[in-house]
């Protein structure tokens, strides 16, 4: 009787344990994305960036757009922004532009104190204005969620869709303050720092808290629509864009060479490369469904658009029309030229129109030299002919070589509890753990999580290469054995 009862209890326990697990159908697109690594030079990117890119192909398929009673309210607000910007005209060949003066977009650190203060004030105004639910900022960010991400990503629509999205957000800012224009974040500048987390960018004057819930800076204590905190895990994973990335993208001569497709190399794929900073910032920005709730999202995409504008200029120099929508063989139907963007009545092809490009003008980051060492702003400093970000205050200088530069430049080390750690390696990452928001499908609660014990055994194929990693016994290297030999497993038990 006891045995029978035990079996029944065990059966029920297993049934309850496994009832929340189910198999997901394999996606051929996702599999093809992973398989494409075989044809890539893996030195060009880090593995987690490829995983992020491929996983979002599936994530967006399985997350439907959330329909609530607030949708019509948000749609009216969106339509009003489009009406104010473009006169409500879907035909981009008609020139009824309400504001004929293009917005001048500067690198975030090139803004004056007044410009930066006005920008952050306008963004906070949108965040606290609940005349459109949940608030005006979130009403715009919610566009970049669910099924809409299938229209906005993984195809030819990526560039055009986001230029429209940025213009809509910029229009919202300018409804609050007509002097505000959307700046851009040139992450290639930070990529040349030994430790990008020490950039002034992550100080309270700019973006604020780099790790964990954002509790400092202009966006302190921001929350997402479902209540979770705006969070970051800066530089725990991912990588920033580099000057080489930009040169590679601009070296192509056709859209088809730098738009995500089964045949596009990651070296030139602007959408793939743009994912690096998403992962680098981490936290809220690491998922496409929450990324737009992170203010840095808009600054990052403004820079992606800047590269897009420069590529369009290159096409013109080659005698090609940048307004012609690219046709990618085997593309998802949502990236067909006539497919609606979901942003007003515009189609994917409309996003490539010259009309939208002319609504903004980008100011490049200044250059400098030994003769003219000024970068025009205290947050950028001239180093070997480059204007690079200053590091946060309270650091001592030391000479470090930056990849790509012949001479070492003066950079700084963080102080530890008020004392200078000169001539030592700065390894803060070793002591800072990742921030876990414990969110799944919008629910953030540790009580909903459970721990599962598991054992992983990595087995090497019989014909796999020898790694030539030998054990050291009492100071002597034993070349007769490889520490990765299967037999070595028994010695480590």
Q: What is the pLDDT of residue 420?
A: 36
Mean pLDDT by 10 residues, the chain (493 residues): 45 45 66 78 75 72 54 89 68 49 95 97 98 96 93 96 98 97 97 92 96 95 94 93 97 94 90 95 94 98 98 98 93 94 95 96 91 88 90 48 33 32 45 66 74 70 64 74 67 54
Whether the CA torsion 334, 336, 339, 345 is positive or negative: it is positive
The span from the CA of 262 to the CA of 246, in Å, is 21
Q: What is the pLDDT of residue 319?
A: 98
Q: What is the pLDDT of residue 59?
A: 67
State which fold the 28-368 domain adopts: di-copper center containing domain from catechol oxidase (1.10.1280)
The values of phi and psi at residue 232, to 5°, are -145, 155
Where do the domains of the chain lie?
28-368
Q: What is the pLDDT of residue 19?
A: 45
Q: What is the pLDDT of residue 12?
A: 42
The values of phi and psi at residue 414, to 5°, are -70, 145
| Backbone torsion region of residue 380, taken as left when φ is above 0, otherwise alpha when ψ lies between -120 and 50, otherwise beta | beta
Q: What is the pLDDT of residue 176?
A: 97
Prediction pTM value = 0.77
DSSP class of residue 232 equals E
H and E: helices and strands count for the chain: 14, 12
3 state SS of 413 = strand
The span from the CA of 345 to the CA of 358, in Å, is 19
Q: What is the pLDDT of residue 71?
A: 80
Q: Token pair 């800012």 is at which residue?
A: 173
Nearest to 116 by CA among 31, 53, 179, 44: 179
């Amino acid at each position: 009787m006891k045995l029978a009862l035990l079996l029944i209890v065990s059966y029920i326990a297993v049934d309850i344990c496994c009832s929340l697990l189910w198999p997901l159908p394999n996606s051929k697109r996702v599999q093809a994305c992973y398989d494409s690594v075989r044809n890539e030079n893996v030195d060009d990117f880090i593995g987690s960036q490829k995983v992020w890119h491929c996983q979002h192909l599936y994530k967006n398929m399985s997350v439907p757009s959330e329909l609530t009673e607030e949708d019509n309210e948000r749609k009216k607000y969106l339509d009003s922004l489009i009406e104010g910007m473009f006169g409500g005209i879907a035909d981009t060949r008609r020139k009824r532009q309400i504001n004929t003066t293009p917005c001048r977009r500067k690198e975030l650190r090139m803004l004056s104190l007044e410009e930066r203060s006005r920008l952050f004030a306008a963004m906070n105004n949108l965040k606290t204005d609940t005349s459109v639910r949940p608030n005006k900022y979130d009403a715009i960010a919610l566009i970049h969620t669910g099924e809409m991400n299938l229209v906005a990503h993984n195809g030819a629509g990526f560039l055009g869709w986001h230029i429209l999205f940025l213009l809509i957000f910029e229009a919202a800012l300018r409804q609050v303050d007509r002097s505000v224009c959307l700046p851009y974040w040139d992450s290639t500048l930070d990529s040349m720092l030994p430790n990008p987390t020490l950039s002034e960018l992550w100080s309270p004057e700019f973006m604020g808290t780099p790790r964990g819930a954002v509790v400092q800076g202009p966006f302190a204590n921001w929350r997402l629509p479902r209540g979770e905190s705006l969070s970051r895990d800066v530089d725990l994973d991912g990588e920033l864009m580099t000057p080489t990335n930009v040169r590679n993208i601009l070296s192509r001569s056709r859209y088809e060479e730098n738009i995500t497709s089964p045949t596009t190399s990651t070296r030139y794929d602007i959408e793939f490369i743009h994912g690096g900073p998403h992962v680098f910032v981490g936290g809220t920005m690491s998922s496409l469904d929450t990324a737009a709730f992170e203010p840095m999202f808009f600054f990052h995409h403004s820079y992606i658009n800047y590269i897009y504008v420069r590529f369009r200029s290159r096409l013109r120099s080659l005698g090609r029309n940048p307004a012609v929508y690219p046709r990618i063989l085997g593309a998802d139907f949502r990236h067909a030229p006539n497919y609606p963007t979901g942003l007003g009545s515009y189609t994917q092809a409309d996003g490539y129109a010259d009309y939208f490009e002319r609504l903004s003008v980008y100011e490049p980051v200044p250059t400098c030299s030994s003769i003219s060492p000024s970068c025009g702003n205290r947050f950028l400093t001239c180093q070997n002919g480059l204007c690079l970000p200053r590091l946060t205050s309270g650091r001592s200088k030391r000479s470090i070589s930056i990849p790509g530069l012949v001479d070492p430049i003066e950079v700084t080390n963080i102080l530890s509890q008020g004392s200078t750690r000169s001539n030592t390696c700065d390894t803060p990452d070793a002591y800072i753990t990742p921030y876990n928001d414990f969110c799944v499908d919008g629910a953030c609660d540790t009580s909903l999580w459970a721990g599962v014990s598991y054992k992983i055994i990595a087995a090497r194929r019989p014909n796999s290469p020898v790694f030539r990693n030998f054990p050291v016994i009492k100071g002597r290297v034993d070349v007769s054995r490889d520490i990765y030999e299967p037999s070595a497993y028994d010695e480590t038990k």
